[in-house]
Amino acid sequence: MSDVTLALSPEPDWAAFVAIDWADKEHCWKLCAAGSKKYEEGALENTPEALVDWATKLRDRFGARPIAVGLEQSRGPLVYALSKFPHLVLYPIHPSTAARYREAFFPSGSKDDPGDTALLLEILLHHRDRLRRLEPDTVETRLLQMLVEERRKLVDERTRLGNQITAWLKTYFPQALDLVDKIISPMACDLLDRWPSLEQLQGTNPSTLNKFFLKHNCRSEKRIQERISSIYKATRAVEDAALLEAGSTAVKVLAKMVQSLNLAIQSFDQRIEVVSSTHPEAGLFNHVPGAGPALRPRLIVAFGTRRDRFTSASDIQNYSGIAPVTRQSGRSKSVHFRRACPKFLRQTFHEHAAHSIPKCPWAKAYYQHLRDMGVGHHAAVRALAYKWIRILYACWRDEKPYDDAIYTQALQKRHSPLAKLLPAFSLETNAEGHKKISTNRLTE
């Protein structure tokens, strides 16, 4: 998301327009010089040497003047390879845009690479005002973006493997699910890697099990004894030898994979912490409620450092998919969930809004108000995210860190309806000195 900005700045004096259709082995290209109606086309191998040679010839031919390049990627090897040439200005064209454009003029469904290249060039020539020019953010922001996105992929993969482990255990060893609090935790993985079946676990000396739980930071002697006692009282769920062996083998392998992912995620977390803490925009998000070690870097990436990328908060709300889509035809009007958007960006704002509810009184009050009105959970969280984007955009635009007290005072000063709900959701301090949110509703 931070790679793309709205093309609001004036266009340069183009020397030529080029479209490239990416392929694994060979790229098709088509070129039209500015002011000319003649087209040139060709193909180049998908190698760094061929791309450099092609781009260098274009630079020499047009005297290093800017060349608009349309391609069906916003990321990927071709984009990264061409981005290093200052005379090439990239215009990513969404694959669905190109596909629908193709369907409009070729309803038969015919398709080939030269034809696709011609359509990309036509879109670039005649509809460039509706495309977003690729203008990369700073190195720090792009690095942080890649790190947080890759980390999320690892987390999703770990969740997928954890679900597989759970499915297997429910089939042949359901007692294991009661022995651990979280199936992807280091303790759970170590236990299943060492004793993937009830029979193996029951054949272990109690003192060994006691040491195992102590080693994994279980300090409650009562809880340890409950676990050990439940192990020896347990009964096999199935007697099928084939199922028991297949399940044990699968769970042992899956547990090792989760262990590896846990280490990988930990490594990403350490690097993300270093990069995000030194990012120039880090101070703006340090005190945002609900933005912890995982979400704070993602918010930094969501806004980036280029303040010419968005002209208003609505630009981010629409682009991220948090703002709904309105469809109107005649007297018919409906509001729908926005599906065409950067999914990771939308997920970032949605997750932050959800995490802010127990951490922020006004967010809790706003969410609960919507729920009391009959709004569903996810719709209420999106509405809260919509509000958060507007607030964080103002902080980002003015380069002022978010302060919850200042925003609360502003609500009261404006006599906002939300301010009337705040007393019922004020932060209290418990006996341990930690803050908690009171959800006691005041009678009106």
Task: Determine the Cα–Cα distance for residues 228 and 348; give it in Å rounded to an integer.
Answer: 41
* Confidence (pLDDT) at 5: 42
Q: Are 145 and 231 in contact (CB under 8 A)?
A: no
* Domains assigned to the chain: 16-136 (3.30.420), 142-275 (1.10.287.4070), 287-329+336-437 (no CATH)
Nearest to 255 by CA among 194, 307, 303, 202: 194
* Confidence (pLDDT) at 423: 75
* Confidence (pLDDT) at 9: 61
Q: Report residue 375: phi and psi, to 5°.
A: -75, 135
Three-state secondary structure readout of the chain:
CCCECCCCCCCCCCCEEEEEECCCCEEEEEEEECCCCCEEEEEEECCHHHHHHHHHHHHHHCCCCCEEEEECCCCCHHHHHHCCCCCEEEEECCHHHHHHHHHHHCCCCCCCHHHHHHHHHHHHHHCHHHCCCECCCCHHHHHHHHHHHHHHHHHHHHHHHHHHHHHHHHHHCCCHHHHCCCCCCHHHHHHHHHCCCHHHHHCCCHHHHHHHHHHCCCCCHHHHHHHHHHHHHCCCCCCCHHHHHHHHHHHHHHHHHHHHHHHHHHHHHHHHHHHHHCCCCHHHCCCCCCCCCCHHHHHHHHHCCCCCCCCCHHHHHHHHCCCCEEEEECCEEEEECCCCCCHHHHHHHHHHHHHHCCCCHHHHHHHHHHHHCCCCHHHHHHHHHHHHHHHHHHHHHHCCCCCHHHHHHHHHHCCCHHHHHHHHHCEEECCCCCEEECCCCCCC
Nearest to 98 by CA among 75, 114, 121: 121
All residues at 6 or more sequence positions from 269 whose CB lies less than 8 Å from its CB, including other chains: 151, 293, 294
* Confidence (pLDDT) at 26: 87
Extract the tokens encoding 438.
Answer: 């009171």
Q: Are 87 and 127 in contact (CB under 8 A)?
A: no
* Confidence (pLDDT) at 328: 78
Task: Determine the Cα–Cα distance for residues 423 and 417; give it in Å rounded to an integer.
Answer: 12
Angle at 341 between CA 335 and CA 346, to 5 degrees: 90
Mean pLDDT, consecutive 10-residue stretches, the chain (444 aa), reads 48 92 87 92 91 94 94 83 91 86 77 82 91 88 96 97 97 94 94 95 94 91 92 94 96 97 97 95 93 95 91 92 84 79 93 95 93 94 96 95 89 84 61 42 29
* Confidence (pLDDT) at 186: 94
Task: Determine the Cα–Cα distance for residues 309 and 345; give it in Å rounded to an integer.
Answer: 15
Nearest to 349 by CA among 306, 299, 313: 299
Place of tokens 């995490």: 355
Task: Determine the Cα–Cα distance for residues 424 and 198; give it in Å rounded to an integer.
Answer: 50
Extract the tokens encoding 251.
Answer: 């769970």
* Confidence (pLDDT) at 442: 28
* Confidence (pLDDT) at 426: 61
Nearest to 134 by CA among 182, 186, 92: 92
Task: Determine the Cα–Cα distance for residues 416 and 293; give it in Å rounded to an integer.
Answer: 32
